Amino acid sequence: MTQTDTILEPGRLFIGGEWRDAASGRSFETVNPSNGEVLTTVAEAGKDDVDAAVQAARSAFPAWAETDPRKRAKLLFRIADELEARKDELGRLEALDNGKPYRQARNIDVVDAAKAFRYYAGWADKIEGDVLPAPGAHLAYTRREPVGVCGAIIPWNYPLLMAAWKVAPALACGNTVVLKPAEQTPLTALELGRIIAEVGVPAGVVNILTGFGDPAGAAIVAHPDVDKIAFTGSTAVGKLIQREAAGTLKRISLELGGKSPNIVFADADMEAAVKGAATGILYNTGQACTAGSRLLLEASIHDEFMEKLKARVERMTPGDAFDDKTRLGPLVSQEQLDQVMGYVEKGKAEGAELVTGGDRANVNGGKGFFLSPTIFDRVTPEMTIAREEIFGPVLAVSTFEDMDDAVAQGNATEYGLAAAVWTRDVAKAHLAAHRLHAGTVWINTYHVMDTGAPFGGYKQSGYGRELGKNAIDLYTQVKTVWVNLG
């Protein structure tokens, strides 16, 4: 299938089961990062559209919350089946809109989104309360009730998957949703809306607003009738949301940025660790909140490791999302490319040693947002590229002396999303895993995730755990009921 098989229709807002233009009539363009060309336009939601979507979600809530959980499960299973059945088309849309390689979009993003719906479909009829030990002639028990209307605000790096991580558990628990995809990547969320309508999810249970963080995202956060916000994105916007949510004390969960250490001890399987270091930083063109962006090498293996890593990374040439050979796509936008190039310049200016990359890659006549994979060596802790999330294929390398030094350097960040440790020593591996301040620690691997395994941050990487049974806590609230038996 090629990218030109169909012309993309303009996207509209999905509110109360209907497709509409924005109340203002405004729309904006979404661009193909592989060649910089406009794909189509989508409606630009404003405050009035947010009000309408929240009202639709509020009206739909009581009936949806009381729907037999097995019926909710059945609908979620059908969404999962439809996602899988349409994985060619959804993968194509994701590759067009985000720039990630088509095969990856189709075989990983779409398939994992389907898994999330299937997993939470399984939970829908297993959300139980407890009977509690109660004093005297009393019965006390708990119920897990849905939170209400949930605002889901998601980023552009895994557009469909992030929508699935939020919509699936929210619906399983009986909530209704207002979803705002990122402005750069609105298309697969709209397709998800189409599937949701087709399988028979009642109108208003899921509403989808394409638009900008300000005003649409901000209006969802401020809305008094939204009960919870689930946000994935930058730490800066996460802080803003936490402040704004205080006005109505709505519940929030935040999946934010990272600066994850990838720690290689001298006794590691070097070939595996080299591969893991490359994948850790280059997967999704480094646009992953869990990117292994700080490579910490035990000093004694530094030279040999860097030689192998440089050779491996230099083989990863960026390419068009629809080229079968492509493993490394473009950055999502000109803005993101400029931002990442800014970090490359800072790395050079602050004295890090540029080992490879750092320049724009010439793909599609220079029209796409491509950057060659970039490695900086001899990075010191005070350098900007050691501290700030770059969100691109830019690796910062430094060395350590022993376990204490590795853990201290690994933890020397305001973030705490993920970390990895490479060693053949089981005790060393677990000791490091216990001492690292991160929501996910990988041992002798990188970027492995599963719908059943909780995911989220320590420190300024946010709080709340998505995936696994932990997400049920995010989308339910506990009610205790006391009965007088006297």
Point out which residues bind Mg ion (CB under 5 A): 30-31, 97, 184
Q: Does 109 bind ligand NAP (CB under 6 A)?
A: no
Rg from Cα positions in the chain: 23
Question: Which C-beta is closer to ligand NAP: that of 162 or that of 263?
Answer: 162
Contact in structure between 30 and 185 (CB atoms under 8 Å): yes
Q: Does 166 bind ligand NAP (CB under 6 A)?
A: no
Dist. CA 207–CA 187, nearest whole Å:
14
Q: Which residues of 376-415 are buried (b: 16+ CB within 10 A; e: fewer)?
A: bbebeeebbbbbbbbbbbbbbbbbbeebeebbebbbebeb
Tokens in use for 256?
Answer: 């934010």
For residue 264, the partner it binds in Mg ion, ligand NAP, none, with Cβ less than 5 to 8 A by kind, is none
3-state secondary structure of 34: coil
Q: Which residues of 450-462 are buried (b: 16+ CB within 10 A; e: fewer)?
A: ebeeebbbbbbbb
Which of 234, 242, 364, 477 is the binder for ligand NAP (CB under 6 A)?
Answer: 234
Which of 30, 32, 232, 423 is the binder for ligand NAP (CB under 6 A)?
Answer: 232
What ranges in 378-435 are assigned the alpha helix state H? Answer: 384-387, 403-411, 426-435
Q: At 399, give phi and psi (nearest 5°).
A: -120, 160
* CA–centroid distance for 451 within its chain: 13
Integer angstrom CA distances of residue 299 from 109, 406, 420 = 37, 11, 17
For residue 155, the partner it binds in ligand NAP, Mg ion, none, with Cβ less than 5 to 8 A by kind, is ligand NAP
Dist. CA 405–CA 399, nearest whole Å:
9
Q: Residue 138: in which H helix or E strand, if any?
A: strand 138-146
Least CB distance to Mg ion at residue 333 (A): 7
Least CB distance to ligand NAP at residue 334 (A): 13
For residue 344, the partner it binds in ligand NAP, Mg ion, none, with Cβ less than 5 to 8 A by kind, is none
Question: Which C-beta is closer to Mg ion: that of 58 or that of 106?
Answer: 106
Nearest to 474 by CA among 486, 459, 460, 462: 462
Question: Which C-beta is closer to ligand NAP: that of 289 or that of 352?
Answer: 289
What secondary structure letter does DSSP report for 8? P
* CA–centroid distance for 246 within its chain: 24
For residue 341, the partner it binds in ligand NAP, Mg ion, none, with Cβ less than 5 to 8 A by kind, is none
For residue 214, the partner it binds in Mg ion, ligand NAP, none, with Cβ less than 5 to 8 A by kind, is ligand NAP
In this chain, which stretch among 29-37, 100-108, 132-140, 253-261 interacts with ligand NAP, using CB under 6 A?
A: 253-261
Which of 289, 386, 403, 420 is the binder for ligand NAP (CB under 6 A)?
Answer: 289
Nearest to 186 by CA among 341, 306, 350, 29: 29
Q: Does 466 bind ligand NAP (CB under 6 A)?
A: no
Instruction: Identify whether 173 is a catalytic site residue.
Output: no
Contact in structure between 417 and 461 (CB atoms under 8 Å): yes
Q: Which of 150, 191, 289, 298 is catalytic?
A: 289
Question: Which C-beta is closer to Mg ion: that of 37 or that of 198?
Answer: 37
Least CB distance to ligand NAP at residue 386 (A): 15
3-state secondary structure of 371: strand
What secondary structure letter does DSSP report for 77? H
In this chain, which stretch among 175-183, 315-323, 402-410, 470-478 interacts with ligand NAP, using CB under 6 A?
A: 175-183
Binding mask 375-414 toward ligand NAP (x if CB under 6 A, else -) reads --------------x-x-----------------------
**How many chain residues interact with ligand NAP (CB under 6 A)?**
26
Which of 28, 212, 411, 435 is the binder for ligand NAP (CB under 6 A)?
Answer: 212
Contact in structure between 8 and 42 (CB atoms under 8 Å): no
> Which residue of the chain is nearest ligand NAP when measured via CB?
213
* Other beta carbons within 10 Å of 427: 8
Q: Does 467 bind ligand NAP (CB under 6 A)?
A: no
Contact in structure between 129 and 115 (CB atoms under 8 Å): no
Dist. CA 59–CA 116, nearest whole Å:
26
Q: Does 233 bind ligand NAP (CB under 6 A)?
A: yes
Which of 58, 100, 180, 459 is the binder for ligand NAP (CB under 6 A)?
Answer: 180
Instruction: Identify whether 289 is a catalytic site residue.
Output: yes
Which of 256, 371, 396, 403 is the binder for ligand NAP (CB under 6 A)?
Answer: 256
Least CB distance to ligand NAP at residue 441 (A): 17
For residue 233, the partner it binds in ligand NAP, Mg ion, none, with Cβ less than 5 to 8 A by kind, is ligand NAP
Q: Which of 94, 183, 191, 255 is catalytic?
A: 255
Tallying the residues shown for the chain, one arrives at: 486
Q: Which residues are catalytic?
A: 255, 289
Which residues form the interface with ligand NAP (CB under 6 A)? 153-157, 180, 182-183, 212-214, 217-218, 221, 232-234, 237, 240-241, 255-257, 289, 389, 391
